[in-house]
Amino acid sequence: MLLLLTCLAWGQEGGATLAEEYYKAGEFEKAANEYSRLLKGDVTWTRLSRYVGSLQRTNKTDDALKYLRKQQRSDETNKPYYELLIGQIAAQQGDTVTANTQYTAAVQHSKSNTTRLEKIATAFSESGEARWAIRALETAREVSREQTAYSEDLMALYRATGQTQKAIDETILTSKQPDKKEKVIATLQSFINTKEEPLVESALYAKIQQEPGELAYNELLVWFFVQKQKFSRALLQEKATDKRMKLNGGRVYDLGMLAMNNKEYKAAADAFEYIATTYPQGQLYPFARRLVINAREEQVKNTYPVDKYEIRKLIADYQRMLQEIGTNVKTLEALRSTANLYGNYLDSRDTALSVLDLAIDLGKNDRNFVDKCKIDKGDIYLLKGEPWESTLLYSQVEKSQKEELLGYEAKLKNAKLHYYKGDFAVAKDVLDVLKLATSREIANDAEQLSLLIVDNTGEDSTESAMRAYAAIDLLLFQNKTDEAVDKLNDMWIKHGESSLADEILWLRANTYLKQGKSKEALDDLKAIMAKYPNDILGDDALFTQGKVLEERLKDKPAAMAIYQQLLTQYPGSIYVAEARKRFRSLRGDTVN
C-alpha cells in the first residue's frame, strides 16, 4: 500500500511538471491533455486556469465553457473558480453583463469563510481583475470583522487601480498595526512631493476626527509635518495630543530635540517651554528648562550680527535656572553654555574660565563632561592668545579619549593650532590621520583644511601668503571680525593673483555675512563666480548667493535665478538637491 501511494504521488507530481513544461513551451494541446488528467484528481486554481487557457489557445473556447458549466453544477467546493473563468471568457467576448454576474457570484459563493475569499481574491488578481480582487478582500474583511485585515494587499491593489484616495486611507488605517509602521511610512513617503500630497494631509485630519484617541494617526500627521519642515504645525499637533491623551510631555520633548537637530530653534524653544510650563514637577522639567534657553541661545548665535544684549539676557536666564534648580548633574551643561557665552561673545574670558573650573569640579565623576569642559577651556585660552595652554588641554583630551569622537575633535583642534602658527607640514600630518576618523564631519573638516594647505604651500620658500591667511583665520576664531576684514583687504591687494585669491574672497564674504553686511558679501561671491567659476569654491559661492538673496534680502526672483543657474552650471554639486528644493519652494510647488 505504501509503495502504491508513493507511486501515485510521484505520478501526480511528474504529471504536474510535464503539464507545466508543455504550457511554458507553448504546446497548449499537450498541456490541455495533461491538465485535464490532473484535474480529475485535484482541482487547483493554477491547473484550472491553465487548462482553460490552453483550450482557448487551441481554439476550443466552447469546450472550455462546456467543461466549466458542467463543473459549476457538480463541484460546489470550487464553484467560485468556475464562475470567475466563465466571467473572464464572457468579458473577452465583450459580454460585460454576464462577466459581472459571474464575478459577483464568485464572490458571493466564497463568503462562507475568509479562506475561500482569500483564494478567490488571489485568482482575480492573477486574472488581471484587480478591482474584483479588491471586492473579494473587502468582503473578507467584513466577514472577519477585523478593521485592518488584508491592509497591505488592499494598499497595493487600490494604488494599482488608480484609487489614490482609497490607497492613502488604507495606508493610514494600516498604521494601527505597529509592526507595519515602516511599510506605512515608505508608502506615504512616495506620495510626498507629488500632486497627490494634499490628499495625505486631508486624509490624516479626517482619520483623527473619526478616531481622536488613535495615537498612530497623530504620529503620522506629526511625521508628515516634519517631512515638510513644518515644525511649528507638528508642535501644535503634538501639544494637542499630549493634553488629550495625558502623555506627560515625552513626545513633545522628542519633537523639540528633532527641531533642534534640524536647526529649527524657535519651534524647539516653544516645545521645551511647553514642557517646563505644563509639567513643572515632571522628570523632564530640569532638562526642558535648560534646553529652552539653549534653543534661544542657538537662535541668537545664528542671527548676524550677534546681539550682545540678547547674550546677556541668555546668561541671566541660565543663572536664574541654576538658582531655581540648583547646580547638579542635570544642570551642568548650563554652566558650560554660560561659560561659552561669556568667553565667545562678551570677551569675559577669565569669567568663562572660572565657570568652567566650577563645572569641572562639580562634574568630576563624568569623564566625558570634564573633557568637553577642557576643550572649551582650550578654546577660551586660544581666544586669550595663549595657544600653549590650549594645546596642553587638547592633548589631555586626546589621551583621555583615544579612538573616541571627543578625542578626534581635540586632535583636529591641535592640528588647527599648528596651522594657525604656520607649521603647515605638522598640521597636514595630523589632518591626514583625521581623514580616516569615524565622524564624517571631522573627516570632512580635516580633508578641507588639508587640501587648503596642499594647494597653497610650496609657492615660495617663506609661504608668506598662506601664513597671512592662517593668521586671519585665527583672528576670525577669536571673533575679531573688523581686524580680520582689514587684513583680508590688505591681503587681496598683495596676493589677489595668487592661488589663494578665491579663498580670500570666500573668507571675506563669510566674514561680511557675520557682520550683517549682505551687499558686501554678495560682491565677493559674485567676484568668485566671475573670476574663478571652475575652481573648487564655484558652486559654494553660487549657492551662498542664493541663500543671501532668499533669506536676508528677500529677493525671491533673484534667488530663484541663482538656484536655477546652479542646477544648470553645476549638475554634480552637493548643493543640487537643496537648490532644487529651494527653487521649487520659491516657485510655489509642493515640495518635501
pLDDT digits (tens, 9 = 90+) for 368-404: 999 999 999 999 999 999 999 999 999 999 999 998 9
What's the pTM value of the predicted model, to 2 decimals?
0.76
| Residue 340 near residue 318 (C-beta atoms within 8 A) | no
pLDDT for 9 equals: 40
pLDDT for 460 equals: 57
pLDDT 10s digits, 476-492: 999 899 999 999 999 99
pLDDT for 8 equals: 39
| Residue 517: all three cell numbers together | 553686511
Quote the CA–CA distance of 305 and 512 in Å, as a whole number. Answer: 10
Among residues 183, 152, 155, 153, which one has the least CA distance to residue 169? 155
Quote the CA–CA distance of 156 and 252 in Å, as a whole number. Answer: 33
User: Could you tell me which residues come within 8 angstroms of residue 108 by beta carbon, excluding any fewer than 6 positions away?
Assistant: none
Q: What type of residue sits at position 144?
A: S
| Residue 461: all three cell numbers together | 620658500
Q: What type of residue sits at position 203?
A: A
Quote the CA–CA distance of 53 and 499 in Å, as a whole number. Answer: 75
pLDDT for 213 equals: 86
| Residue 283: all three cell numbers together | 522628570
| Residue 145: all three cell numbers together | 470583522
pLDDT for 456 equals: 87
pLDDT for 48 equals: 93
DSSP, res 11 = H
Q: Which residue has the cell 493554477?
A: 46
pLDDT for 3 equals: 43
Quote the CA–CA distance of 318 and 334 in Å, as a whole number. Answer: 6
Residue 27 phi, psi (nearest 5): -90, 75
pLDDT for 155 equals: 92
Among residues 74, 135, 76, 138, which one has the least CA distance to residue 109? 76
Q: What type of residue sits at position 308?
A: K
Among residues 496, 552, 487, which one has the least CA distance to residue 521? 552
Give me the residues of the chain with pLDDT under 50, please. Answer: 1-12, 591-592
Quote the CA–CA distance of 490 and 298 in Å, as a whole number. Answer: 33
pLDDT for 112 equals: 87
Quote the CA–CA distance of 233 and 238 in Å, as a whole number. Answer: 9
Quote the CA–CA distance of 265 and 229 in Å, as a whole number. Answer: 12
Among residues 504, 482, 479, 487, which one has the least CA distance to residue 385? 479
User: Could you tell me which residues come within 8 angstroms of residue 139 by beta carbon, excluding any fewer than 6 positions away?
Assistant: 107, 110, 111, 117
Among residues 149, 202, 137, 136, which one has the least CA distance to residue 177? 149
